[in-house]
Amino acid sequence: MQFSIDLKNGIGTRLRPWLSRLATPWGVGVLATLLAMGATTFFYFQDTIVAYGDAESHLNIAKRVVDSLTPGAAQLGGIWLPLPHVLLAPLVYFDFLWRSGLAGSMISGVAFVVAAIFLFKIVKLLTGSRGAAFIGALVFVLNPNLLYLQSTPMTELPLIAFFVLSTYFFLRYLREQENILPLVASAFFGFCAALSRYDGWFLVAIEAGILFLISFPYTVDWKVFSRPLGFATLHGFFVRRENLYGESRKGLFQKLEGRVVLFATLAFFGIVLWLVWDALILGDPLYFTHSQFSASSQQQGWLARGELPAYHDLWQSFLYYFFTALGNAGVLVFAAALVGLGMYLFRGQGKHRALTALLLFTPFVFYVATLYMGQSVIFIPHITPPDFEWTLFNVRYGVIMIPAVATLFGYLFFKSRSVGKIALVILIAAQFGLYGVGYSKVLSFEDGVRGLSSAKPRDAERFMQQNYDEGLVLLDDFSRPMSIPRSGIPMRNIIYIGNKPYWEGSLREPEKYATWIVTQKDDQIWKSVYEPPEMQGRLFKYFTKVYTSPEILIFKKTSALILSD
Amino acid sequence: MKFFTTHKDKFALLAIFIVAAVLYGATLKGLPGNPVPADFKGNLDDNAMPFELSPERGRFAEVMALGNNGTYILTPELRDVAYPDVGYIGDRYYAYFAPGLPFLATPAYLLGYDYGYSQVSTFAFVAFVSILTMLFLYKIGRNILKMPVWASLLGVFIFAFGSTSWSYAVTLYQHHITTFFLISSFYAAWKFRGNGRMSWMWGVFAALMIAIGLAVDYPNALLLSPVLIYLALSALPGKVEEQKLKLTFRGSILPAFLVFAAVTAGHLYFNEVNFGGWSRLAGTLDSYKKVVEAQLTDPSLTPDEIAAQSIDKTVTGFFSESKLPRGLGVLLFGQERGLFVYAPIFLLSIFGFAMALKRMKSAEIWVMLGSVLVIVFLYSSWGDPWGGWAYGPRYLIPAMASLSLFAAYFAANSARVFLVRTLTAILFMYSSAVALLGVLTTSAIPPKVEAVFLGTDWTYKRNLDFLLDSHSSSFLYNTYLRDYGTLAEYFLVLYALLLTILFSLILAGSRKKDAV
C-alpha cells in the first residue's frame, strides 16, 4: 500500500505559510510572548512568582527607591547590581504589582521575549537557516526552568537578554568588521549586562579579549605544529593578519587600539560606575566583595562547615556547573548540544569558531571560576553529598547556559540530514516526556519552592497580617524574618538598615520611631536591642512582646497597645 | 579448502557453538541434585554456591513454584527462599522479578529434574540462550557490519568471554535473556527491512522477540524501544520525490503487529490476574521484607497496616536524572563495577562506533548506538547502579553485545593494523582474565559502602582470594575435577584456551590476501 503527502501542495500549502511566518523574529516573538503570558498566569495562580527569597528582595529594593521612608537612588544599595531594580522601579510603585511580584514578571517576561528573538537571530547568523534558528529558539522558549524564571522578579532573565543581545551584535561585528555599529551595540548591551549581574563583567572582559585577538595585526599559524620537530618547527608561528585594505602594520595597530578603546569605553563604563557608586555611597569601591552582605562572606559559613565542595577544586567546580547547566537545559537537549558543539568546532565552516564558542560559553567559565574561588556556591542533588544540610541551592545559575545550549542544538539541527532533524524534534518531545514522568525535575522551580533559595513563609508574617494596624516597623530585612509584601505593611512604614537616620536611631533608642519591632534570632536588631541587658531593659520598658516563636519575636509599643485596645 | 571457504560462515557458527559450549560448560555454576527449599538457607546461598545472591534465588523459587506446583504464586517455603525480593498482594506472594524468565526456564528445570540436575539444567538454559545470542551477533557482524569472519568471531568472543557478561551466562539472571531478545529482534527487524521473500516471517519473529522480551525484565520496555521503532519505521519506508513525500505501508507488518498485540495482551492479563491490575508490575507490589522488619518491632501490626505506612512505588519512580552522574561514574569508570575497569577492551568500541558512523551512514548503526545509549542512560539513572552484590556492571550486559562488535569493527578496520591489533590483544587478555576470574569464583562483590563496613574488598581482588583457595562455583570443577588440580590450574587451562582462540583469530586477520 502506498500513499503520498504532497509537500508543495495539499497539506504543505496550508502549513507552509504558517511555518514560514513562525520561523521569523516576529513569529518567535509572538510565540515567546504567548508562552511567557501563559506561564506567568500559571505561576501567578500557583502563588510561586515570589517563591524565591531573592525575588522578594529585588522587589523590595526597587520599591524602596520610589516609595519608602527615605526614598531615593541610594536605596539601590551596593551589593546587587542596579539595572534590574531600576527597571523594576516604575512598576513596583503600584502596590499590586509589587506585592504580587507581577512587576518582576513584566520585566523578566519582556527580557525573555527579546532574548528569544535575538537567539533566533544568532542561530540564523551562524547557520543561515531559518529552520535551524527556529528550532534553537524553540529549545529556548520551551525550557520550563526559563518559563518559570521569566515569571519571577529574579535577575537571570534581564542578564540573559543583555547577554544574548551583546553576543548577537558581537558576532555580527566578527563577520563584518569594517562596520563598527554592531560593535557599539554589543558594547552597549555589554554595559547593560555589566549593570545587571556580575556575570556581565566577565562577558565584557571576554568580548574585549576576543576583540583584541581578532584585531591584533599578527595571528597564529597552528599548522606549524604538524611539522616534524626541529629548529625550524616554530618558524612562521606568528604571521601577519590578512587585510583587505593593505593597511600598514602601524595602521593595523592603530585600528586595534581604536576598536578596543571604543568597545571598552562603553562596555566597561558600567563597571566603573558601580565602583564609583560603592565608593561614594558606602565608602568602599569593592563593598560588594568585602561586606558582610556579599556572596563571598556568606560562603565562609559553608566553608567552615566543610560544605563548599567546589572551593579550590577545579574538577569539582567544573562538575558542579556542568550538571547545573545540564539540569536546567534538560539532559537530552544538553547532550545534543554537546554533539552540536563538536560539530561546530570540528565540522563547522566560517572563521573564529573557537572564539565564538568561547563567547557562548562565557557563563560556564565564569561560574566554574567563581565556584573555584568560593565566590559562589551551588548545591545540586546530582552530585551534592546527601549528608549535606541542603542539596538544592542556587541551581538557577545554570539557566544562563541555555542560550548556548539552544544555539548549539540549532546548529546540530542545521548540520543533520532529514532523519536526524526528525530525531532532534522527537528529542525535544522526549525531554518533555522526562519532565512529565518525573524523571527530570524543573530544578530552578524546585529550588524556589523547596530548596535553600526559597522564601519560607513564616508564621510571624501571618501574625502581622492579622494584627498590624499602624506605625513604623523596625526589622532587619537582610535576615528576612518575614515577607514585607505578604505582611500587608506599607513599605514606607518599614525601618530597615538603609533608612538613615531611622535605623541607627532605632538601634540606640528603639522607642524613638518604631511602633513595632520584628526580630529574628541573631539578626542585627537581636544583637543590638534584645541581647544586651541594658538595651533589653529599655526594650521591655517601652514595648510588650506580642508574638513569640522559637526564632522570631515581635514587640509592640506599649502605649500603642493601650491605644489600640 | 574450497569447501571450507564456501561454507565458512557455517563453520564459524559451528565453532562458536563448540567453543561456547565448552567454556560455558566448564564454568557453569551449580551442584548436582534437585534442591528443595530447606537446602537454601545457610547452604546453597553461601558465597560461590549456585544461589549466593537473591536475584537467582528469587527467580529459581518462581521456577520451582511453576515446575513443582504449577503456579506462579510462591508457597511460604519458597517465599523464604526468595526473601528479601518478595512482594505480596492479599495472601499471595511473588518474587519481585518479571515473570518471563521463570516461565521460559521451567521446561529446562523439569527436564533436569528427571535426571537429578534441576538446578544445573535451569542454569544451562541461560547459557544456551547466550549461545543463540552469539550466533545472532555473528550474523550481525557479518551481514550488517560487513566484517570479515575473524573479526565477527572476535566480536562474539569479546562479548562472551572478554567481558563480565560471562559470570551471568552461567547462572539464572535475566541479562542474557534480555540480550538475546534485543539482538535477535534487531537482526530480524533488519531482515524484515530488507524486504526479502520471507520478510513477513522475520517481522513476526522480531515482534515476538520484542513482546516476550518485555515480559523478561520491566526496563526492557525502554531497552527494546530503539528496535521497536526501527521495526515500525521499516514498515513505513518513505522518500521525497518531486516535492512529494511518498510513504509505503508494508502490509507484511500486520502479522507481526498481531503477534505483538497477542503476546502483550497475554502479559497484561497475567498482571491483572496476579498483581491486581494490568499495568501493575511485580516490582511495585508491597514489600514482604517490610512486613518482616516491622513485625520484629511490633508483632501486632498487620501487613495491611504496614503497607498503608509505605510510600506507593511507581515504575518511573525508580529512575531519576539526579542519579545520573553517580550512575555513570559507577557503571563506566568506578572501581567497584566500571565497564572500562573490568573490561577495558570496550574502550575500542568508542572508536569503533565513531568509525562505523563515519563509514557506513546506515540506520542500523544508529539503532545499535541508540540501544547502547538507552541502556547506559537508563541504568545510570537507577537508584542502585551497582546491581547489589555483583561482578562487573551486570546491567550493561545487553549493551556489551553491541559494544563488542564495534570493538572488533575497530580492530578490523583501523589503518594502524599492528598497533590496534596488538592493543586489542592486550586488552582482550586483561579483560578475559578478569571475566574468567569472576565466573570461576563468585559474583558476590559488595558495593564499596558495604565492603568497607564488612572489612572486605569491593573489586575483583576479592575473587583472587577465592581462586587461590580453590573456592569455585563451577559445577564441572567442583563435581569432577577438584581432585586433579587446583582452581588456579583450572583457570590457566581455560585461559590458555581463550588465548589460543584470540591469537588464532588475530593471526587469521593478519593474513591479508585470504583473510577470512
Q: Is A162 on the interface with B (CB under 8 A)?
A: no
Compute the nearest-CA separation of B45 from chain A (Å).
33
The residue from A413, A447, A481 where one domain ends is A447
Question: Same structural domain for residues A68 and A170?
Answer: yes
Q: Given phi > 0 = left and psi -120 to 50 = alpha, else beta, which region is A162?
A: alpha
Q: Read out DSSP for B366-377?
A: HHHHHHHHHHHH
pLDDT for residue A254 is more than 60: yes
Place of cell 566603573: A272
**Rounded-to-integer distance, Cα A376 and Cα A361, Å:** 18
Residue A517: inside a domain? yes
Cβ distance of B325 and A382 shorter than 8 Å: yes
Which of A401, A427, A447 is the C-terminal boundary of a domain? Answer: A447
CA of B183, closest CA in chain A: separation in Å? 22
Q: Which of B245, B247, B322 sits opposite A381 (nearest CB)?
A: B322
pLDDT at B127: 98
C-alpha cell at A248: 600598514
Share of chain A above pLDDT 90, in %: 73
CA distance A426 to chain B (A): 12
- Kindly determine whether residue A383 and residue B363, on different chains, have CB atoms separated by under 8 Å: no
Q: Are residues A426 and A473 in the same domain?
A: no
Residue A529, classified by CB atoms within 10 Å of its CB into exposed (0-12), middle (13-18) or buried (19+), is buried
My answer on whether A333 and A407 are in the same domain is yes
Shared domain for A196 and A62, answered yes or no, is yes
- Closest residue in A to B251 (Cα) is A1
Cβ–Cβ of B324/A1 closer than 8 Å? no
Q: How high is the pLDDT of residue A351? A: 83
Q: CA nearest B407: which of B353, B370, B367?
A: B353
Helix count and strand count (H, E) for chain A = 28, 8
Per-residue pLDDT band at A559 (split at 50, 70, 90)? confident
Chain-chain contact of A419 with B363 (C-beta, under 8 angstroms): yes
Distance from CA of B319 to the nearest CA of A (A): 6
Task: State whether residue A430 sits within 8 Å of chain B by CB.
Answer: no
What's the whole-number mean pLDDT along residues A237-266?
A: 80
pLDDT in tens, B429-462: 999 999 999 999 999 999 999 999 999 999 999 9
Task: Please give the pLDDT value at position B217.
Answer: 93
Q: For chain B, what is the mean pLDDT?
A: 91
B248 to chain A: which residues are within 8 Å by CB?
1-3
Using a CB-CB cut-off of 8 Å, the residues of chain B touching A435 are none
Q: Does A438 touch chain B (CB under 8 A)?
A: yes
**From CA A415, how far away is CA A340, in angstroms rounded?**
8
> Closest by alpha carbon to A329, among A145, A466, A454?
A145
Q: What is the DSSP letter of A436?
A: H
Coil, strand, or helix at residue A217? coil
Report pLDDT for A86.
97
A22 located within any domain: no
Q: How many domains does chain A have?
A: 2
For residue A226, the 8-state DSSP code is G
Percentage of the residues of chain B whose pLDDT score is greater than 70: 95
Q: How close B231 gets to chain A, by Cα (Å)?
A: 15
pLDDT category of residue B282 using cuts at 50, 70 and 90: confident
Closest A-chain CA to B363: A419
Write the CA distances from B282 to A95, A268, B45, B92, integer angstroms: 56, 63, 23, 12
Average pLDDT over residues B23-43: 92
| Predicted local confidence at residue B516, as pLDDT | 47
Q: Above pLDDT 90, what percent of chain B?
A: 77
CA distance B215 to A242: 66
Taking 60 as the threshold, does the pLDDT of residue B314 lie above it?
no
pLDDT above 70 as % of chain A: 94
Q: Are A492 and A440 found together in one domain? A: no
Interchain contact A387–B (C-beta under 8 A): no
Instruction: For A25-72, write each residue's pLDDT tens digit.
Output: 999 999 999 999 999 999 999 999 999 999 999 999 999 999 999 999
User: pLDDT, tens digit, for every residue of A59-87?
Assistant: 999 999 999 999 999 999 889 999 999 99
The H or E element that residue B192 is part of is helix B175-193
Residue with cell 547547566: A325
Q: In this structure, are A465 and A442 located in the same domain?
A: no
A168 assigned to some structural domain: yes
Instruction: Tell me if chain B has a CB within 8 Å of the CB of A327.
Output: yes
Q: Quick one: cell of A526?
A: 537581636
Nearest 5°: the CA angle A206, A211, A216 is 130
Which of A9, A439, A442, A450 to probe by mutation at the B interface, max B CB count within 10 Å? A439
Amino acid at B54: S
pLDDT surpassing 90 at residue B425 = yes
Taking CA B169 as the corner, what is the angle to CA B164 and CA B170, rounded to the nearest 5 degrees?
110
End residue of a domain, out of A425, A447, A469: A447
CB contact (8 A) between residue B324 and residue A12: no
Residue A409, in any domain of the structure: yes
CA-nearest of A267, A449, A427, A231 to A340 is A427
Q: Output the CA–CA distances (angstroms, integers) from residue A229 to A222, A224, A226, A233, A235, in the order listed.
A: 14, 10, 9, 6, 11
Are residues A337 and A385 both part of a single domain? yes
C-alpha dihedral, B410 to B412 to B417 to B420, nearest 10°? 40
Chain A residues inside the 8 Å CB shell of B244: 4-8
Residue A271 DSSP one-character state: H
Q: Are B346 and B340 in contact (CB under 8 A)?
A: yes
Q: Taking 50 as the threshold, does the pLDDT of residue B506 lie above it?
A: yes
Q: What is the structure's pLDDT at B514? A: 45
Q: Which pLDDT score is estimated for A500?
A: 87
pLDDT one-digit tens code per residue, B58-72 = 999 999 999 999 999
pLDDT of residue B308 exceeding 50: yes
A434 vs B: CB within 8 A: yes
| Three-state secondary structure call for residue B503 | helix
Looking at residue B306, its pLDDT comes to 67
- Closest chain A residue to B249, measured at CA: A1
Lowest mean pLDDT segment, chosen from A232-236, A297-301, A416-420, B455-459: A232-236
d(CA A324, CA A318): 10
Q: How far is CA B34 from the centre of its chain?
A: 25
Question: Rounded to the nearest 5°, which phi and psi values hold at B196?
Answer: -80, -170
pLDDT in tens, B88-97: 998 899 999 9
Model confidence at B172: pLDDT above 80: yes
Q: Are strands A543-548 and A552-557 parallel, antiparallel or unpaired?
A: antiparallel
Mean pLDDT of all residues in B316-338: 90
CB A516 within 8 A of CB A555: yes
pLDDT digits (tens, 9 = 90+) for B173-190: 999 999 999 999 999 999
pLDDT given at position B317? 61
Q: A474: domain range?
A: 459-564
Residue A347 sits at the chain B interface (C-beta within 8 Å): no
* Inter-chain touch A437–B248, beta carbons under 8 Å: no
**pLDDT for the residue B104:** 97
Q: Taking residues A487-494, what's their average pLDDT?
A: 94
Out of A2-11, B79-88, B327-336, pick the least confident: A2-11
Cβ pair A197, A81 in contact under 8 A: yes
Which phi and psi angles does A129 have, rounded to 5°?
Answer: -110, 125
Bridge partner residues of B95 (DSSP): B86
Distance CA B488, CA B491 (A): 5
How many Å lie between the alpha carbon of B232 and the closest alpha carbon of chain A? 15
- Same domain for A228 and A340: yes
Residues A531 and A406 in one domain: no
Instruction: Specify the pairing of strand A543-548 against strand B238-241.
Output: unpaired
* Residue A169 and residue A230 in one domain: yes
Is the same domain home to A479 and A424? no
Stretch 317-336 of chain B: residues touching chain A, C-beta under 8 Å: 317, 319-326
Residue A123 maps to a domain: yes
With H, G, I as helix, E, B as strand and everything else as coil, classify residue B176: helix
Q: Which of A2 and A221 is assigned the larger pLDDT?
A: A221
What is the strand order of the sheet B238-241 is part of? A2-6, B244-248, B238-241
Least confident of A196-210, A294-308, A395-409, A492-506: A294-308
In a domain? residue A292 = yes
B237 touches chain A (CB under 8 A): no
Residue A71 is predicted with a pLDDT of 94
Closest residue by Cα to residue B343 from B332, B329, B354, B327? B332
Is residue A189 one of the residues assigned to a domain? yes
What is the structure's pLDDT at A8? 59
Residue A19 confidence (pLDDT) above 90: no
Q: Is the pLDDT of residue B316 over 70?
A: no
Evaluate whether residue A6 is within a structural domain.
Answer: no
Quickly list H helices, A343-442: 353-360, 362-373, 402-415, 418-436
Both A495 and A473 in one domain: the answer is yes
Instruction: Tell me the CA distances in angstroms from A106 to A90, A100, A141, one per residue in order.
Output: 11, 12, 16
A346 touches chain B (CB under 8 A): no
pLDDT single digits (tens) A492-530: 999 999 898 999 999 999 999 999 999 999 899 999 999
CB contact under 8 A, A7 and B321: no
Average pLDDT for A219-242: 71
Residue A1's pLDDT is: 61
| pLDDT in the model for residue A99 | 96
Q: Report, as an integer, the average pLDDT of B236-259.
A: 81
